[in-house]
Structure 1
């Protein structure tokens, strides 16, 4: 019998550690429905979320912006990581896709209808869904951080869940929408209604992008013409519209902007917020002017105001953070 010599196979390299957590989905309100602020019940609410770090009873809750999602590692790398404000090596960081969104949580098509349209939802409804998720995750206390729509949602958390929120960071967001902000959203929704199927959403995004930056920012980054002879700013806005249509839902855009417009807490309610709050304005923000953010923050009895000095407008918290991460880290961990 001839012996067969086998060549030992190459050792299998160990698997690389998972760089980013996988999005998880949870169904809540199975037995007892969520009562929406409009008075209608909603059962079997699906919530998609990301969690970073080891589960703890104390967590840092991240609230995303209008067209954002729960994947914080994708859109806020300056803030998430070891030694950063959101540090998975020491903190349990949670971010959920909002009710009414289009990134895995229950969306507009699954909401009860009123006169053939999805029922209106509120930022407070979103906070109550978030609270149910935290209860499922056995989280007892949270430090909250949100920017833009996420910042407005943080105000809703402060009002709706005062027993859970230890402190909050609110970046580039007012306590309530001004006529200017409501007007911009109204124009965007009108564009979507006039041209459903994607074209209106492109225009809505272009309107929004003009408010997310500043004249100085566009003068620096979008001056001149492309080789085709098209103005750089026109090409930029077309590109931004195309990108959003590829990943977002026009019904979600209408649902969430309407919820933001309807959020109008009174000064009396805000004066009863006792948690420490760091409110951050952006010097060149034309959507939520720094003077507005500062004045509204002053109503809170335990607030600190700081201003990010940048020419890049509302989006500076994403593209020109400067000292912002360190300011936030110090406040969240104080």
Structure 2
């Protein structure tokens, strides 16, 4: 497979840890990527970050729905010296997913299907990730993914079992429940009803209610921030505005659809022989811990651990507690 790196985005290996810079590569220049929808696609652009010295084995971080490849910005408790993702001890890679809007090929850049954006799947994203690893010379990976990244890890385990040594899946089931699909449906309906940004703001407000818990909001958003304006109202409005400033509504629609339509069977899950650490979050209302545990129970080589926090789904980002130590030990094979 021939790949083209854009020189402006290259980072000298010696400088990568001090000042991580996003890199970009164009894959599938000669042999196309066949999407699950049947569309063949050439020239797929992938934006990514690397940390540490390149080698044949790596830890691949899979980001959440509105995340990006800059792990040092959004997961500092996990990346750094003495952390589970230690660039001094190993090679760490994170790529923006196909269909995102942080440098990789976006939905609007793909050939349309039936007059609309080509529907993407999590398996499509895993295939693109595999091509990136081939380009980087990586032959074996350990996966770490939270939320959408955790669901994408399941797609990797099914699509690329020969590459994955072990996987950490945080706050994610193997497939969406009607509850999770319903929340995403409401979000996409808001975007469809008010295109141009206003719908995306509402979609983010809907999502934020599922990312935290009633107890978390009682602790952090009680009272008023301005006369006559409840704190939770100001908070949700702020979150909507912030996402609108950095994210694309077409990507939001494409990625939530890919999550909703990823429905591996019990038999497929039982076929996974890779060691897995599945992490549930005690107060998660989006992906209740019992749901995460039930999916893990189908895996022959999985162990389950629960993060006890009042902060809901987002606890893995804002209240990690012992999670880094648990993840680090598992990645080391302990």
**Aligned-residue CA RMSD (Å):** 0.9
**Which position in structure 1 is the counterpart of 2:221?**
222
Partner of 1:284: 283
| Residues 1:54 and 2:25 aligned together | no
SS in structure 1 opposite 2:226? coil
1:58-73 → structure 2 map (5 Å cutoff) = 58-73=57-72
Question: Could you tell me which residue of structure 2 aligns to residue 94 of structure 1?
Answer: 93
SS of structure 2 residue aligned to 1:294: helix
In terms of mean alpha carbon deviation, does 112-121 or 231-240 score higher?
Answer: 112-121
For 2:57 and 2:132, the matched residues in 1 are separated by 14
Q: Which residue of 2 aligns with 1:245?
A: 244
1:119-169 residue CA offsets vs partner (Å, 9 max, x unmatched) = 101000000000000000000000000000000000000000000000000
Q: Secondary structure at the match of 2:225?
A: coil
- The offset of 1:52, in angstroms, is 0.2
Structure-2 change in CA distance of 1:17 and 1:250 (3 Å): closer
Counterpart residue number, 2:108: 109
TM-score by length of 1: 0.94
1:271 and 2:270 matched: yes
Deviation of residue 71 (structure 1)?
0.2
Q: Is the contact between residue 139 and residue 163 of structure 2 (CA under 8 Å) also seen in structure 1?
A: yes
Asked if structure 1 preserves the Cα contact closer than 8 Å seen for 2:48 and 2:69, the reply is: yes
Task: Tell me the CA shift for residue 325 of structure 1.
Answer: 0.2
1:135 corresponding residue in structure 2: 134
Note if 1:318 corresponds to 2:313: no
Larger radius of gyration: 1
State the distance in 2 between where 1:102 and 1:255 align: 11
Q: Could you tell me how far 1:18 is from its partner in structure 2?
A: 6.0
Corresponding residue number in structure 2 for 1:79? 78
Q: Aligned partners of 2:16 and 2:35: how far apart in 1? A: 41
Judge conservation of contact 1:20–1:73 (CA < 8 Å) in 2.
Answer: no
> In the alignment, what sits opposite 1:23?
22
Q: Is the 8 A contact 1:64 1:149 kept in 2?
A: yes
**C-alpha deviation, 1:319, in angstroms:** 0.3
Point out 4+ residue stretches in structure 1 off by more than 6 angstroms. none
Distance in structure 2 (CA, Å) of the matches to 1:186 and 1:279 = 26
Task: Please say if 1:163 is aligned against 2:156.
Answer: no
CA distance in 2, matches of 1:34, 1:145: 24
Q: 1:17 to 1:24 in 2, by over 3 A?
A: closer
The gaps in structure 1 that reach 5 residues or longer are 1-15
CA displacement at 1:227 relative to structure 2? 2.7
Number of residue-to-residue matches in the alignment: 319
The alpha-carbon deviation at position 19 of structure 1 amounts to: 2.3
How far off is 1:114 after superposition?
1.3
Q: Could you say which residue in structure 2 is the equivalent of 1:39? A: 38
Give the CA deviation at 1:17: 8.8
Distance 1:295 1:251 in 2: 32
Cα shift readout 1:257-282 (whole Å, capped 9, x = no counterpart): 00000000001001010010000000
